[in-house]
Amino acid sequence: MNEQKNIASQPQGTKVGGKIAIEPGQKITPMMEQFIEIKNANSDCLLFYRMGDFYELFFEDAVHAAQALGITLTKRGKHQGQDIPMCGVPIHAADGYLDRLIALGFKVAVCEQTEDPAEAKKRGSKSVVRREVVRLVTPGTLTEDSLLDAASSNYLTAIARVKTGEQEEALYGLSWLELSTGEFGVQQVDHLRLNAELARLDPREIILSDNILQESDIRALNEEVRGALSPVPRAFFDGSTAADRLKDYFKVSTLDGFGQFERVELMAASAVLAYVEKTQLGARPPLSPPVREISARTVSIDAATRTNLELIRTLSGEKRGSLLSTIDKTLTGGGSRLLAARLASPLVELGEIIARQDSVSWFLEQTGLREDLSDAIKIAPDMPRSLSRLSLGRGGPRDLLAIRGGFASSITLLAQLGQSVEPEQLPAELLRSYEALSALPQNLGTLLGAALDDEVPLLARDGGFVRSGYDPSLDELRSLRDESRRVIASLQADYADLTGIKSIKVKHNNVLGYFVEVTANNADKLMSVPLNETFIHRQTLANAVRFTTTELADLEAKIASAAGKALAIEQDIFAHLEREVLAASDMIKNASHALAVLDVSIALALLAEEQNYCRPVIDESLAFHVEGGRHPVVEQALMSDGADAFVANDCNLSPQNGETNGKIWLMTGPNMAGKSTFLRQNALIAILAQMGSFVPASNAHIGLIDRLFSRVGAADDLARGRSTFMVEMVETAAILNQAGERSLVILDEIGRGTATFDGLSIAWATIENLHDVNKSRSLFATHYHELTVLHEKLPRLVNATVKVKEWKGDVVFLHEIIPGAADRSYGIQVAKLAGLPPAVVGRAKAVLEHLEEGDRQSNAKTMIDDLPLFHATAHVMSNEEEEPDELRVALQDVNPDDLSPRQAHEMLYQLKGMLQ
């Protein structure tokens, strides 16, 4: 089965059958000739070829699709002496199959019948119905609700590249587009930031020029970038025509009104527009003008860090259990997407962070209003996605109804806000939302309310969506159509009286139109004199015979005329409403964003109230002081399981005593004690703080962080030939090469994947580099207790450990972070808790005792003066004498053969008492 591939593992993307050859003189049916012609024009796609009520696939397309979808592979005819593979999916269920194919990285060309079969027959009995590809479906260009996740953005991203300077260093242009909402952004990055920005966007599809696919910097993109790769001709990225393409698309004479763009940014933006026009067959959705993103505006978080911290997804790829799923209390799809975008892109702009905090604080105080607004927000439809479908010609009456619903929610929200507070008293972010909602053209909302019925069909061609009373001529035609139904019923009764056949029926189908049907036993009566002059034979079936009459034919013409004219009027009304909505697209998109902002602000206020989060102090210092910090995900998991309350801990990495840089905490302590949880929770608190949220702590003071690095956990990367230790070193190298004094660095167990002294030496050197070169605020967890002596040499290094207690040979984790250093890892006790056989645990204790009595007796403090790097002697570990086993002592002198039944019974009670 084909699987979705990414840049690193599959540069060519998911392949399909390619072009199909036809040899000169080869006999081929007209239908298959048409299929091959269309397939060869779309050779990089699976071709969904419409045949009646099915989309059929042939040749290698059918093989791929049958395997991917788990459907039956059959055959139809022969080509070059070989059976032609074939499979198909029903039209009514096509979206579900499309979803699965797109998730696997395929592209699909949808080929529809664009001609009525009756018209094709007029050209000859063997004429093929005209068919055309109406759209190309790719992972990054989806618009259907059934194929999209309402809570997630679906980005199409383009990567452009130019070489600069004497060393020919690469600069990259990124452009991303959300076709279903119209969001459009561009950015210039260097090779160090490229990976982090792609991880932030998490695109579903990435396009780039086919001539740079095999170059090392492209192939080295991190494996965690999941987007399906779509190589395109280099002409898509032509820098000489890029600006003209953007000006033509947005119908402007200059791009100055949108901002100043670098050449590589224009190349990427032009490429993404060209790809949209190609896949939408020339249609131009109403995109927002390109917004230039400044790299320094958001916190740089690379793919490995996002994975380790489980921001959007867990390590297993699930949303449930991630930070996003834990904090998401939004009520709408737009709100969920905005929250996810803010979480993925924490800010470095102090003013904007504070503005977001102000909105959350305001709603935290406005409890009653918050509940009222929530009632209006939760019924607001997803207007941007409906707007996108309308602009691409894929919209229907339900999309217009969604726009109407959005207008209604906006009016309600404006009224509720206006009754509670003067607009000028709203926080800045909420005031902008209020103004955007106020700018909606209310006459359009009134028009949609008057024109659309409350229950509408999915497709405009089905009719029946215009409200009665909106158009008098339409009402008249509908009346005629509906009255005709009663006339048909009356006519059937007349025929029953005329013929004496009570079971006679007047029916309708798309082939014969209206007809009279009787059972086979009654057919002779209608074909005999005098009834044969009234009833004209049409069709004989196994159990029924069908007739028509002159009167019925005349009535059918009138009904068809009325129904057709009514449907034509409804189509005109739909087109008019669609034009009016698209003319107001900018205002609708702004109002939709305003609704999302309100949704997110209310959701974060509710989160802060329910979980007792505090508003952090954010400034431009190098402070990092958290009091009573908690891990947001673990805390809620403990609450839901009814377990003990989460143990809160402080963390202070702020400069102290006149220092100019933040602290490094060296964390020691046993496995399972909570070191990794503590490390992660402080990283998550920093992210929440800079996205504008309240944080799980009693107090917090965060100096702006520009880069966040986290290397927690161990995993190999076999697909790229990397061992666990190699992955660890690659990620550590990235941190040491990029982190600065404003960075926050989280490192866990550096050097554990290799030999003891090699690993210890690497960890030692890493700490010194963080202290002297990077000067970052850092949390560094380790089991190398020898490293704790570094605090005597490195003034900003602080030792901290996790408090534990021992009880009868077992270890009790208290999950409390305290100053100091651990002298033991308690690994054997943890192994015992994990269920290792008693014999293995006992043998491990004996081996440990022997090792501790041997060559690990040297004092590690001598390392500071003798060899500060790459040499270490082990720290002396305490060796507690194991407590005697009370049960063993009690049974040692007992002879079971000498015990009476009463004595044995009493001894059992004694032994049971020892266990309690």
- Which residue in the block uniquely carries the two structure tokens 């060519």? 12
- Is residue 343 helix, strand or coil? helix
State the pairing for strand pair 108-113/300-301. Answer: unpaired
The H or E element that residue 209 is part of is strand 205-209
- The span from the CA of 42 to the CA of 46, in Å, is 8
Which residues contribute to the annotated binding site for ATP?
669-676
d(CA 413, CA 536): 64
What the block records as the tokens of 470 is 């909106």
Distance CA 666, CA 770 (A): 12
Q: Within 10 A of 374 (CB to CB), how many other CB atoms are there?
A: 17
Tokens standing for 132?
């055309």
**From CA 805, how far away is CA 803, in angstroms rounded?**
7
Binding residues, by number, are 669-676
For residue 901, say if its preceding peptide bond is cis, omega within 30 degrees of 0: no
Nearest Cα neighbor of 739 from 661, 798, 794, 687 is 661
CA distance 257 to 248: 14
Residues of 694-724 as b/e, b for ≥16 C-beta within 10 angstroms? Answer: bbbbeebbbbbbbbbbbbbeeeebeeeebeb
3-state class (DSSP) for residue 799: strand
Alpha carbon distance, N-terminus to C-terminus of the chain: 57
Let me know: does 205 contact 227? Beta carbons within 8 Å: yes
Question: Helices in 205-348 by DSSP H: which ranges?
Answer: 216-219, 239-250, 263-279, 303-309, 323-327, 333-344
Tell me the C-alpha distance between 714 and 682, whole Å. Answer: 20
Q: Is 492 exposed, middle or buried (0-12, 13-18, 19+ CB in 10 A)?
A: middle
CB 907 within 8 A of CB 832: no
